[in-house]
Amino acid sequence: MISLSDVRKSFPAGPDANPVLEITSLQVAGGEALAIVGESGSGKTTLLNLVAGLLSPDHGSIQVGGQEVTSMSEPQRDQFRAQHIGYLFQAFHLLEGFTALENVLLGAAFTGRPEDPAYAKELLGKLGMDHRLSHTPKQLSGGQQARVALARALVNRPKVLLADEPTGALDAASGQEVLELLLSAAKLEGTAVLCATHNAEVAAAFDRVVHLP
C-alpha cells in the first residue's frame, strides 16, 4: 500500500542542504500498522508529509496504492490526498466554529464526492461520540477532540492513515483509547497505518517498528 525507495529529503535545498531524512526502502501493507520511532528532529513528521504529498523529496520514489505520488503536480497530490489518505495531526486542527459532525464532514469537502452525513455519524458513534455530534471543540475534552479528528481522517475510507504523535497531547487514559481506535482501523478496514511517535510504549502496540536515527 505504501512503498518508498531511495528517498532523500533535505532542508534547505541546494548544495549546502542538510539531509533530514534518508530511506533506502520502506513498505507498509494494507491492514498493517507501522510505528516510526525517533527523537525530535529525526525526520518522523517529514516522512509522513512526504507520503501525504505535502512535501516533495529531493529524489526517490513514493508510491501509495500503486500510484507514484512524486510524479503528480501539487493540485493532483492535493486531490489524491483528499481521496485516499487520512491524516491525524497531533494538534487535531479542529475548527472551533464547527460542531463535531461538521468537522468530520469537512474531511470530505475536498474530494469531489458528496458528503455522507450518515457515515460520519456512524463513525462518531463507533468512537463513542454519538452524544456529542452538536458540540464544538471547546465543549469537548482532549480525548473527545482526538476521536473527532480520527473520524475526520477516516470519513473518506482512506487507503492510508497517517498519525503524527497522536497520543502526545493526551493523558494516559485518553491516549490509550485513541491508540486502540487507531489500530482497529487497520484491522477492520484494511487500512495501512503509519504512525510517528517518540514513545516506546506506544510503538510496542504496533505490528512493526522502524527506528529513525
Residue 114 lies in a domain: no
Tell me the pTM. 0.90
Give dist(CA 176, CA 170) in Å, integer. Answer: 9
Residue 131 lies in a domain: no
> What pLDDT does 182 receive?
84
- Kindly state the DSSP code that residue 136 receives in the 8-state scheme: -
**Residue 37 CB-density burial (10 A; 0-12 exposed, 13-18 middle, 19+ buried):** buried
Give dist(CA 206, CA 179) in Å, integer. Answer: 9
> What is the mean pLDDT of the segment spanning 107-123?
85
Q: Which of 59, 18, 24, 21 is nearest to 38 (CA)?
A: 21
Residue 160 lies in a domain: yes
User: What's the distance, CA 30 to chain centroid?
Assistant: 14
Residue 136 lies in a domain: no
**What pairing do the DSSP bridges indicate for beta strands 85-88 and 33-37?**
unpaired
* Local confidence band at 107 (pLDDT 50, 70, 90 cut-offs): confident
Residue 10 lies in a domain: yes
Question: Angle at the Cα of 147 (from 144 to 152), degrees rounded to 5?
Answer: 130
User: What total of structural domains would you count in the chain?
Assistant: 1
**What pairing do the DSSP bridges indicate for beta strands 85-88 and 160-164?**
parallel
Residue 103 lies in a domain: no
CATH classification of the domain holding 27: 3.40.50.300
Q: Are the beta carbons of 135 and 60 closer than 8 angstroms?
A: no
Residue 153 lies in a domain: yes
Give dist(CA 67, CA 71) in Å, integer. Answer: 9
In this predicted structure, the answer to whether residue 145 has a pLDDT above a threshold of 70 is yes
In this predicted structure, the answer to whether residue 140 has a pLDDT above a threshold of 70 is yes
Residue 90 lies in a domain: yes
- Most confident among 55-69, 81-95, 156-170 (mean pLDDT): 55-69
Q: Which domain holds residue 42?
A: 2-94+142-211
